[in-house]
Amino acid sequence: MSQSSVGLSLRGMSKSFPGQRALAGVDLDILPGTVHALLGANGSGKSTLIKILAGYHSPDPGSTAYLNGEPLTLGSATAAHRAGLRFVHQDLGLIPDLNVIDNLALGSEYAGKWWLSGRREAAAARELVQMLMDGVDVRRPVRELSPAQKTILAIARTLRGTSSAAGLLVLDEPTATLPAHEVDVLFEVVRRVQATGTPVLYVTHRLDEVFQIADTVSVLRDGRHVFSSAVNQTTQRELVTHIAGRPLDELYPAPPTSAGAVLLTARGVSGRGVRDLDLDLHAGEILGVAGLDGSGRDELNRLLFGQQLPFAGQITIAGTPVTLGQPPASISAGVGYLPADRRLHSATPYMTLTENVTLPDLPSPSLRWISLRAEQRDVRTWLKRLEVSPAAPERQFSTLSGGNQQKTVLARWLRRGSRVLLLDEPTQGVDVGGKQAIYNALGQAARGGAALLITSSDAEELAEICATVLVMRDGRITARLSGPTLTTDAIVSASLTEGTPA
Residue 231 CA to residue 217 CA, distance in Å, equals 6
Residues 374-388: tens digit of each pLDDT:
888 999 999 998 888
Q: Which helix (H) or strand (E) holds 465?
A: helix 459-465
**Nearest residue to 335 (alpha-carbon basis) of 264, 278, 272:** 264
Q: Mean pLDDT of all residues in the chain?
A: 86
Burial of 21-48, coded b for 16+ CB within 10 Å and e otherwise, reads: bbbbebebbbbbebbbbbbbbbbbbbbb
Q: Give 64-96 as a DSSP string.
A: EEEETTEE--SS-HHHHHHTTEEEE-SS----T
Res 48 pLDDT > 70: yes
Res 422 pLDDT > 60: yes
367 or 229, which is more confident? 229
DSSP code of residue 392:
-
Residue 502 lies in a domain: no
Q: Which of 244, 275, 290 is the last residue of a domain?
A: 244
Residue 284 and residue 239 share a domain: no
Res 93 pLDDT > 80: yes
Residue 250 lies in a domain: no
Q: How confident is the model at residue 62 (pLDDT cuts 50, 70, 90)?
A: very high
**Contact present, 82 and 120 (Cβ < 8 Å):** no
Residue 371 lies in a domain: no
Please, where are the H alpha helices in 333-458? Answer: 342-345, 353-358, 372-385, 402-416, 432-447
Residues 355-381: tens digit of each pLDDT:
999 887 755 444 455 677 888 899 999
Residues 175-207: tens digit of each pLDDT:
876 766 678 878 887 888 888 888 999 999 888
Q: Which of 244, 279, 295 is the last residue of a domain?
A: 244
Please report the sign of the dihedral spanned by the C-alpha atoms of residue 79, residue 216, residue 250, residue 289: positive
Residue 421 and residue 275 share a domain: yes
Does the N-terminal peptide bond of residue 71 adopt cis geometry, omega within 30 degrees of 0?
no
**Nearest residue to 68 (alpha-carbon basis) of 196, 138, 144, 168:** 168
A 10 A CB-CB count for 246 gives 9
Q: What is the CATH number of the domain that holds 459?
A: 3.40.50.300
Residue 405 and residue 321 share a domain: yes
Q: Which helix (H) or strand (E) holds 269?
A: strand 262-271
Residue 404 and residue 286 share a domain: yes
Residue 237 and residue 297 share a domain: no
**Contact present, 470 and 480 (Cβ < 8 Å):** yes
Residue 205 CA to residue 441 CA, distance in Å, equals 19
Q: Which domain, by its residues, includes 161? A: 3-244
Q: What values do phi and psi take at 373, rounded to 5?
A: -65, -45
**Contact present, 112 and 121 (Cβ < 8 Å):** yes
Residue 326 and residue 178 share a domain: no
Residues 292-314: tens digit of each pLDDT:
878 899 999 999 999 999 999 99
Residue 408 CA to residue 343 CA, distance in Å, equals 11
